[in-house]
Amino acid sequence: MRAIRRSRPEVRPVVRVVTDSTACLPTGGSGGSGTGVGQPVVVPLRVLVGDRSYEEGVDITPDEVAALVAGGERVTTSQPPPEAFAAVYRMLADDGARAVVSLHLSGELSGTVGSAATAAARTPLAVRVVDSRTAAIGLGFAARAAVECAAAGCDAAHVAARALEVAGTVRAMFVVDSLDHLRRGGRLSGTAAAIGTVLGVRPVLGLRDGRIELLQRVRTRAAVAERLLEEAAADVAAAVRPVVAVQHFGAPDRAQVLAGRLRTRTRADVEVAPLSAVLGVHVGPGTLAVVTADLGDHAH
């Protein structure tokens, strides 16, 4: 008679990882609900269209927002209020967490990390709030690495350090169809925004120490794609364990073409994902980005 194998109950790590929706990871439901241990808990930022407020990734998609922006709708964004984070921290405490690492997009781009810190100060649970100094799927790469450490039984200090280690290797380069969105949102200086207009060039932008900066200037869309490919290929070649993604806002076909060329050039797995709606509002439809990071030879 064969013995009946009983499944082991899921072991929940004592350290849990929270991030925000600009990490471009699946949300776990409204307000960051959902406590699956294999992924971060995602707190959504908000998209404001007129007098309507939406939680990105929950009740509005990046493609829907891209269509609204392209159609001339006035769309703005908002960080989550402290109570949204506090509710998630309480939920995780009730689920057995003893500590939380709350990892968020650069404080240079949003007040989200400050909102999380306000909530953490009012929460009995031990919460480490971490400014990743990056955004988009680069933040997602760091959050995933943090979850792996937490699942391996590492303490909160180790999990936070690992998140920052991966975030520090992130390189994000992107090109926009128009600099007006960044200029209006105050994410790019007027002088840098004027360069593309006056000289008729297509600026290649990037994140450096949490800020959006002008990296290079090229004159054609084809030259932009080639520059993104060259830089990403160099990053992959230099990395111990590279991770790569192509992201877009309202440009899925161009993203797939760019990803295919990058796979051919590097032989690496290349993830294709839309930018979060909130980030997309500030860069505008037609944006293409290549994001790389190095997971290294880290041992838990």
Question: What is the pLDDT, as a whole number, of residue 100?
Answer: 98
- Nearest partner of 107 among 199, 187, 205, 1, judged by Cα: 187
Q: Is the per-residue pLDDT at 10 higher than 70?
A: no
pTM given for the model: 0.89
Mean pLDDT of the chain: 88
Mean pLDDT of 148-175: 96
Adjacent-strand bridge partners of 207:
212
What is the distance in angstroms between the CA of the first residue and the CA of the last residue of the chain? 41
Question: Using CA atoms in the order 61, 264, 142, 119, what is the torsion angle rounded to 10 degrees?
Answer: -10
The mean pLDDT value for 4-16 works out to 66
Q: Which residue has the tokens 């990296």?
A: 215
Sequence ranges of the domains in the chain: 15-167, 171-294
Helix axes 156-167, 136-151, angle to 10 degrees: 150
Q: Is the pLDDT of residue 29 over 50?
A: no
Considering the domain 15-167 in this protein, what is its CATH number?
Answer: 3.40.50.10170
Render 203-251 in DSSP notation, one character per residue.
EEEEEETTEEEEEEEESSHHHHHHHHHHHHHHHHHH-SSEEEEEEEES-
Over the stretch 111-143, which tens digit does the pLDDT of each residue have? Answer: 999 999 999 999 999 999 999 999 999 999 999
**109 Cβ contact partners less than 8 Å away, ≥ 6 residues apart:** 135, 187, 210, 211, 212
Query: The domain 171-294 is classified under which CATH number: 3.30.1360.120, 3.30.1180.10, 3.40.190.10, 3.40.50.150?
Result: 3.30.1180.10
Has residue 8 got a pLDDT over 80? no
Residues with Cβ within 8 Å of residue 229, at least 6 apart in sequence: 258, 261, 262, 265, 290
- Which amino acid would we find at residue 47? V
**Could you write out the DSSP letters of every residue in 14-74?**
SEEEEEEGGG-----SGGG----TTS-EEE--EEEETTEEEEBTTTB-HHHHHHHHHTT--
When pLDDT is averaged across residues 188-215 and rounded to a whole number, the result is 70
pLDDT at 185: 57
Contact status, residue 29 vs residue 23, Cβ threshold 8 Å:
no
